[in-house]
Structure 1
């Protein structure tokens, strides 16, 4: 599974990346996570309001900071 956080390098974007990374580690999920702050890649992905989260190429969130409950939903955890 590939998880991408696309952001602008701001505090909110970095916090989302750290929270999502911690969630993945805490739940022993097999996922590769990366943070992308390249403006061209944000535009290619049609991200107008960072941060955005993509899981296996599917946009899950944009312009907000998701909660842990949303993380659980994305990864289908109870």
Structure 2
């Protein structure tokens, strides 16, 4: 079954909302790690890397939502 453009739009918006929640959760984990007496720099680096990847995905999806031709799906990052 083929999705309508409205269905795709709703799906993209839901995906962006999910990415925002995940990014917020990572920000909390980063804050928690930084509050430890001796923060693990490797853990912080990995958490920040993951948060940046989510930010990039959010930016790509938002560009699709703003573009006049919404038929294109964003390229999935690996």
Q: TM-score, normalised by structure 2?
A: 0.31
Structure (1 or 2) with the greater strand fraction: 1
Q: Flag the structure with larger Rg.
A: 2
